[in-house]
């Protein structure tokens, strides 16, 4: 995660690295709960860094606009991702069994 001490160029670099992670999430056909959690965390960091990063170091306003579209796309895929289902708890009850007598020889 980026800190306030990071250089402006370092912030932009981290933003691009997070962009790659988010694009790989968008390109994935299947999303398990770990990928969803990771994407949510990265998206949160990405949004914070996007607000803080200097758009002039990114390559211009058009780059900033394209980066601003990524969170929307990821958010919509996260909403469409299957929700994590709670594990079904099976109650196992033992049925009383009759004691069987064993014949001794």
Residue 72 to residue 79: CA distance in whole angstroms:
11
User: Contact, 74 vs 27, CB < 8 A?
Assistant: no
pLDDT in tens, 39-66: 999 999 999 999 998 888 888 888 889 9
DSSP labels for 67-87?
Answer: HHHHHHHHHHHHHHSPPPPPP
pLDDT higher than threshold 60 for residue 34: yes
Rounded to two decimals, the pTM is 0.69
């Amino acid at each position: 995660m980026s800190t306030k001490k990071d250089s402006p160029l370092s912030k932009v670099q981290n933003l691009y690295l997070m962009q790659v992670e988010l694009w790989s999430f968008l390109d994935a056909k299947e999303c398990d709960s770990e990928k969803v959690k990771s994407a949510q965390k990265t998206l949160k960091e990405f949004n914070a860094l996007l607000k803080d990063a200097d758009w002039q170091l990114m390559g211009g306003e058009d780059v900033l606009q394209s980066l601003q579209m990524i969170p929307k796309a990821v958010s919509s895929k996260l909403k469409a991702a299957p929700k994590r289902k709670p594990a079904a708890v099976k109650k196992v009850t033992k049925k009383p069994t009759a004691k069987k007598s064993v014949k001794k020889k």
